[in-house]
Every structure is written in structure tokens, then in C-alpha cells.
Amino acid sequence: MKSMGFIQKVLPALAAGVVCIALSAAASAQVKTETSTESGTPEKTVTIERGEVVYVSGNDVVVKMESGEMRNFENVPESTKVNVDGKELGVHELKPGMKLEHTTIKTTTPQTIKTVQTVTGKVWQVTPPTSVILKLEDGTNQEFKIPEGQKFKVNGEMTDAWGLKKGMKVSATKIVEEPQIMYEEEKKITGTMPPPPAPAADVPILIAVAALPPVPPPAAPQRAETEQARAKLPQTGSSLPLLGFLGVVALGTPLGLRLIRKFA
């Protein structure tokens, strides 16, 4: 009994018993653990977001989404690359007007992690149905707490804690199956360059000039007005003065010739 007290003092009891959720350094070498993973059918979910670059400053990018929402992406990592027309562009090479498409592929895979723990030793002392002390293959004694319903294999036959006797060589196995979900995400960003500006149309330039008002043609005088104007003219014009003047000139010409000869 003293040796048992010494064992219990030096090697404290474990929470998992034969199944051993935790083991001391001395016993861990005696407990064999095997882990395997079984995977189910993976499911993929694809999410696509589209938008147009409206502003770029340093590592900050503002994108107008298809829904009209303005989304500000701050401190975009330098490692982020955008595949634009086959070229990998960094955040500093993005330009307003570029069309971006962000694709996220999420893969969900159900998995079952199966853990099998096995311990083998000789019964040193048993306190059914709660605990048992085994002498392990390395010569050390270890106390285990026995889980409810735990079975032991003795000489090829299965028994519970009540069937254990000192000196029996026993082995105990615990199988734990833990379901979990494995998530994987793949993200990629593609884009297209903004369309080139439309070329200027080759059209003549017209210069606007102020148009002068059209000059109306002179109106033809009415016949009645012309005859009325003639009726009002004074009757002073006559051909008699002209005939008198010509007669004087004719009479004076021989007289003038005579005077010229006389003085000559």
C-alpha cells in the first residue's frame, strides 16, 4: 500500500483514464495515438462583384459598385495584383475608368477527424469502476480514470472494470470522431482598361458674323405722283434766251476781227 501511495503521489491521475485525454511524460510513450481524416464531398460557392475605379490615391482605391454603392478600399497591400488584359498590375497602376471584377471561390469540405488511442499494461491495482493502475511496458506505473462504459481486452476477450484482476495484461482503446468543416477561399481580381477617348471630329469651324439688315430696293415712284410733281414745277424754262445769246455772238464775231486787224 505504501508503494501505491508513492505511485499516486509521484504520478498524478489523468482525466481520460485508459483513453487518456492527457498523459504524463512517462506514460505518453506507452500510449499509442493514431489520427486519420475522412473528407466528404466539397461544396463551392462563387461570388462575383463588379465595379469601376473612380479614384486612386496611394494605396487607397474608391470603386463604384454595380449597385451604385461607393466603396473605399483603404491600405490595399502591395502584394495585391489585378490581371488587366493579361498584365499583372499593382494598386499604384490602377486608373479611373478601369472596370474591375472581384471573384471569390469558397470551398467548404466536411471532414471527420478520427483519433484512436491505445494503451497496454499489467493491472497493478483496480478500483472499479472509476480507476485502474497499470504497470506499463517501460516498468512505470500509471493511474488512469476509467470512463463510463470503457471496455478492456484481456486474452482476446472484452471485459469491463469489474472483470480486471491484478497481474492481468490488458489493453484499452478509445476512438474519438470529431466532425469539423474545412474552409478554403480563392480570390482573384481581373480588370479591363478604360476605353480610349473618342477622336475629335474633322468638321470645319464656322465663324459667326453679325448679319446686316437687307437694304430694300428703291420703290418705283407712282405715276400719279410724278405727274403731280411736274404740274408743280414753275414755267420759267424757255429756248428764247439761248437763241438771243447765239445771235449776239454771231454779230460780234466780224466786229471783233476788224478790231484785231486795226490794232495789229
CATH number, domain at 67? 2.30.30
| pTM for this prediction | 0.46
Identify whether 30 is part of a domain.
yes
Structural domain for 160, as ranges: 2-39+111-181
**Model confidence at 256: pLDDT above 70:** no
Identify whether 249 is part of a domain.
no
Residues 19 and 127 placed together within one structural domain of the fold = yes
From 192, 213, 247, the end of a domain falls on 192
Residues 130 and 71 placed together within one structural domain of the fold = no
Q: Which pLDDT band, with edges at 50, 70 and 90, does 20 fall under?
A: very low
**Model confidence at 248: pLDDT above 70:** no
Least confidently predicted of 8-12, 31-35, 210-214, 232-236: 8-12
Residues 68 and 130 placed together within one structural domain of the fold = no
pLDDT value at position 101?
92
Report the domain count for the chain.
2
Residues 30 and 66 placed together within one structural domain of the fold = no
Least confidently predicted of 57-66, 141-150, 215-224: 215-224
Q: Which pLDDT band, with edges at 50, 70 and 90, does 70 fall under?
A: very high
Residues 124 and 170 placed together within one structural domain of the fold = yes
pLDDT value at position 49?
92
Average pLDDT value for residue range 64-72? 92
Q: What are 185-208's pLDDT values in tens digits?
A: 998 889 888 877 766 655 555 555
Percent of the chain surpassing pLDDT 90 = 29
Average pLDDT value for residue range 243-250? 54
**Model confidence at 94: pLDDT above 70:** yes
From 132, 159, 181, the end of a domain falls on 181
Identify whether 199 is part of a domain.
no
pLDDT value at position 220?
55
How far apart, in whole angstroms, are the C-alpha atoms of residue 258 and residue 242?
26
Residues 70 and 175 placed together within one structural domain of the fold = no
Identify whether 234 is part of a domain.
no
pLDDT value at position 195?
78
Average pLDDT value for residue range 64-84? 91
pLDDT value at position 201?
58
Distances (CA, A) of 90 to 20, 87, 163, 196: 53, 10, 72, 21
Q: Which pLDDT band, with edges at 50, 70 and 90, does 153 fall under?
A: confident
Least confidently predicted of 92-101, 155-164, 250-259: 250-259
Residues 87 and 67 placed together within one structural domain of the fold = yes
Residues 176 and 159 placed together within one structural domain of the fold = yes
